[in-house]
Structure formats: C-alpha cells, structure tokens
Amino acid sequence: MKRILVLIGALLCTASVQAQDTDGNNKSLLWKISGKEMQQPSYLFGTIHIVCQENYVWTKTMKKSFEATQEVCMEMDMDDPSILMQVATAMVEQSGKKLEDYFTAEEYTLVEKYFRDSLGVNITMFASMKPIVLQTLLTSSSPTCDSVVSYEVKLSETAKEQGKEITGLESPAEQIKLLDQIPVDSIVQELVRIAKGHTDEMSQYQEMIDAYKRQDIQTLHALIMKSKEEGDNMDAFLDERNEKWIDRMAERMDQKSIFFAVGAGHLWGEKGLIHLLKEQGYMVEPVK
C-alpha cells in the first residue's frame, strides 16, 4: 500500500471511452444532475479533503450553484457533534498494545522525530492510539504550506450561514470500518518509510493538485488508477462506496435540491459517480 497516504489524505479515482466524453468539455469539478422525476436540479462537486489555501478552488459559478440548493450532503454529516467522539473512540487501541509496540525502538525514534521536526507534533500524546491516528495526522497537516483549508469545514460553515441542512452519505461507523480494513503492517511500513525520507508522495500529490486546479478530473482519475496498478487496492475506498452512495443520492434528490460534496476521486471513471448516475437515467452535465 505504497501510496495510501496520498490517496486517502488528498482525495479519499481505466476511464471508459464509451461511457464518458473524452474532450475538454468534461473539465469541471462541478456537475449538474437533472432528469427522471427530479423537480429541480442537484449538483455533484469534487473536493480535496485538505489543501493549501492557495490551491483552494471555489468559483462564482460554484458559489451560485451552492446557494441554489436546499441541502448540503457530504461523505459524513459534519454537523453531527457526535462524529468526532465516535472517530476518536475508534482510534483507541483496544488490545492493550501501545503505539510504540508496533515499531522497533529504532523505527519509533525515527517516526517520533519526523512528527516533531516536520509537523511540530509530540506523538507520545497518542500512546494508547492505533497507528492509523498518525496517518490521519499526516493527512490533516502539511509541511509544504503555512495555511491549510478543509473543503468540508468551509462548506459546513457556509451551509450554516445560509440555513441549509447538512447531511452525510455514510455513517461514522462505515468510515471507521473502512479504515479498519487497512492492514496495520502497511500503515507502519509507510510511516517508517516516510520518516526515513524514502518517499515520492509529494511529487505525486503535486500532480494531483495541479490536475485538481485545472478541474481535470479525468487526469486525476488516471493518476489514481496508476497507483492502483502499482498495488494499491482502492476498490473499498472508491468503487464500492460509489455503488452504495447512488441509491442514497437518488433518494435525497427526489425530495429536494442537494449539493453533494465528495472527494474528487469519486467522480470520474467507469465506476465513478458521474457514470453511475447516467446509468440510472439521470442527465449529468459539467458546470463551467
């Protein structure tokens, strides 16, 4: 699971030529959903969960589409005060092992130093936690910029200001189960590799950021598929979740206009949300 850090943190996407257009008209992070029995359109927007302030993409068209909807639906209901508690509880190691027990003494010293020097974090505070908590810290912090932005936080704040309901496509339990599927050995190996400086994740991450800023979700998808070909099994993180989300999206869209905001990696591809929505009979069009 060599590149799992980039994939989970940045985007938590074989494009089908027959299924989707391949010209430049599909370059958009925002897609309008209409048709079937919908009374008014809904929108599908691709986010990056954590991004440097200068790479934050939010246009006037996106703002206008957001304002036109009645509800904001993200991967989880970010307005639920119990979510953080549920996630934090799930990250506590129940076996009795300490965080450092997953590493050799040399490895733990390296990882501890990396977090202290690069992120200013003392990992001894997480002694009773699972190794996944360190990976979560890495994906929510960036040594490459002074100010990071969370799309989910921004959209939640704006939704509250506009009096919109905030909902989620899946429960915290479902996301926790997803994280629990990642082999602990893979997480530990990745953390040690990064601490040793044996990593090319930043160059890969920058490629994804560049594609995202161009709103080129097809290239974004290709980069993720490249990682999948190199051994990362992303089916549970992307394809299986997309299949599960479609019915839940349809149920909400039949009732009101929704602004769906999910990781951009979920949008494109033969098993992406755009294609799956079209298969269900919806009209899905890029919004420029």
What would the pLDDT profile of 77-128 be if each residue is shown by its tens digit? 877 777 778 877 888 998 999 999 999 999 999 999 999 998 889 999 999 9
Report d(CA 148, CA 140) in Å as an integer. Answer: 8
Cβ(19)–Cβ(275) under 8 Å?
Answer: yes
pLDDT in tens, 173-231: 888 888 888 889 989 998 998 888 865 666 777 888 899 999 999 999 888 887 665 54
Query: Binning pLDDT at 50, 70 and 90, where does residue 156 land?
Result: very high
- Strand stretches in 20-121, DSSP E: 30-34, 42-47, 51-52, 71-74
Maximum Cα–Cα distance across the chain: 61
The pLDDT, as a whole number, for residue 173 is: 86
CB atoms within 10 A of CB 89: 11
- Percent of the chain whose pLDDT exceeds 70: 85
